[in-house]
Amino acid sequence: MRQFLKYTLASLTGSILFCLLLGFLLALGAVGLVGVIVAGLGKEGEAPTVEKDTVLVYDLSTVIPDSPEAIDPSTLVLGTQAPSQLTLRQAVLALEEAATDDRITALYLKGSTELGAGLASQAEMQPAIAAFQAAGKPVLAYDISWSEREYAVASLADTIYLNPFGEIEMNGLYAETMYQADALEKLGVGVQVTRVGRYKSAVEPLIRDTMSPEEREQTQRLLGDVWQNLLATAATPRDLTPQQLQTIANTQGFLFGAEAETQKLADAIAYEDEVITALRQLTGEGDEKAEDSDLDFRQISLAGYAATVDDPLTSRRSSNQVALVYAEGPIIDGGNGDFSQTGIIEGNALARQLRQLRQDDEVKAVVLRVNSPGGSATASEVILREIQLVREAGKPVVVSMGNVAASGGYWIASQADAILAQPTTITGSIGVYGIFLNLEELGTKVGVNWDGVKTSELADIFSSTRPKTAAELTILQRSVDAIYDSFLDRVAEGRDLTRPAVAELAQGRVWSGQAALDLGLVDELGGVNDAIATAVELAELGDDWRLQEYPEPSEWQQFLRGFFSTEVAQAHDPLTTQVLKFVDDAQLLRTLNDPRGIYLLMPYQFVVK
């Protein structure tokens, strides 16, 4: 009894201390949250002040998603990084407005180790930068080390500065995949797959040790398309030819210091303080060198300036609405019928949103902005059905493809009235696969066994504790074949192509936006504003319409956005970057929740290096 009381009292004491500690931490968090909220109340509704002769600064590491990201309240308490609050449309609008704003005297493209906008997003911003320059305002660009992706933006500048210790990278693009079949075999993890499409290579890293000929072919074609676009984009403003840049890539790879100036890729070799001195001359602040290289010239960030710019399309007065719906991230099955996760497309949530727009008499057209590598086959079909119903209701649907709209992302786009993409958009990947792991041998190695009972022969067909039999794989393959056939039918009907033609260009193959246009998978090249104009034309609205973006943020999210935002991506060392990539891959795996284990997912996460 004494021992019982001793342990009971010890447990009780521990519980009390834990509760006190937890309460203390929560109190600290609450105080911090209240402090931030109180501070935010003073800022809410305040827009930055733009003084005369101000330089607009676009830090190329600024994260620019398609749609506003939801703010997790825990970031207020824990101090972690908040999501970007500068969207692609806001960035483009800000650049367009700055071109005619007498207070903005120049644009400064500040290079960074990381680029916060995808290739297709860059393509939408480049015309706005060119318009700024055409308005007679200087554009300056500076970095220590320019990558090809950054340089494609910087090439538009009147003056490209390069640090004397820096270089311009022009060595081409490279893609590689880690193949794990041998490692999985040694671990005792069996992998069985069902798939349709010679190029549907998403499963190959698990079942092969080298790249298949089909995977090599499609990746080479895709990289080639993207590379040629980058060459043309970078060469034209510099009065160079793509072949000249290709020669540099083949023979030099990197241009260091003065040789970059000699070969016309840079206009001046300078340190950052010297660049800031040039900027101070433009703002009229004097010729002397600034002491603080980050702050000592009159400037406003692109995100800060965007907060001062009204959207002329959303501020229109009209009862006719064009709905711009964002579908960004992997597609997952289910969801609670509301947009609850940022960067994830919940099938039920997007379907519900489209249903509401269909039933809203003020909505006359829908623009669906797709930026997704695909995902659940079931969820993709749920979304596509609602798109079909919107069209049947007499409301045109136009799809604007972002950086990627492949596999399930293309499934939901396939039957739109019109599809627009950028030349570097990654799309297609019309194919289906299923992956089934077998942990039986691994369990044997570590001393774990499974046993059970069943009421019929196929009851445990999805069990991961034994390999599938040949008969079971035949059944599962039939399911994959049926979905692939449905995919072909939907594309053929939506794109007005013959089924044999679709079957030939499908096969799980990934295409660039330019190639997709040539093949008939895309109707025209253009950005989200071009898609809006197409929707207005199809709905015959003339000038009598206004734009409304969806999903609409809750009042709580609107409140948080009033004062809580970040603009620039955090730079990481190579090791941290690699670790974060594994984290991203793990998060992607968690989105694989299709009830039948069948996916319409792009074969890889494509990163240009």
Closest CA to 223 of 150, 173, 154: 173
Buried b (16+ CB within 10 A) or exposed e, 499-524: eeebbebbbbbbbbbbbbbebebbbe
Task: Choose, from 67, 376, 407, 565, the residue flagged as catalytic.
Answer: 407
d(CA 550, CA 544): 20
Task: Choose, from 110, 147, 155, 200, the residue flagged as catalytic.
Answer: 200
Q: Is 463 a catalytic residue?
A: no
Domains and CATH numbers, the chain: 54-170+252-306 (3.90.226.10)
Q: Is 407 a catalytic residue?
A: yes
Residue 577 is predicted with a pLDDT of 44
Residue 552 is predicted with a pLDDT of 78
Paired tokens of 445 = 């190695």
Paired tokens of 588 = 């992607």
In this structure, the strands spanning 363-372 and 159-169 are: unpaired
Residue 335 is predicted with a pLDDT of 76
The H or E element that residue 160 is part of is: strand 159-169
Eight-class DSSP state of 119: H
Residue 590 is predicted with a pLDDT of 54
Torsion of CA 484, 489, 496, 327, to 10 degrees: -60
Residues of the chain with pLDDT under 50: 1-22, 24-26, 28-34, 36-44, 76-81, 293, 556-557, 559-560, 563-584, 586
d(CA 321, CA 548): 7
d(CA 535, CA 399): 9
Give 213-230 pLDDT, tens digit per residue.
999 999 999 999 999 999
**Whole-prediction pTM value?**
0.83
Residue 334 is predicted with a pLDDT of 82
Give 356-412 pLDDT, tens digit per residue.
999 999 999 999 999 999 999 999 999 999 999 999 999 999 999 999 999 999 999
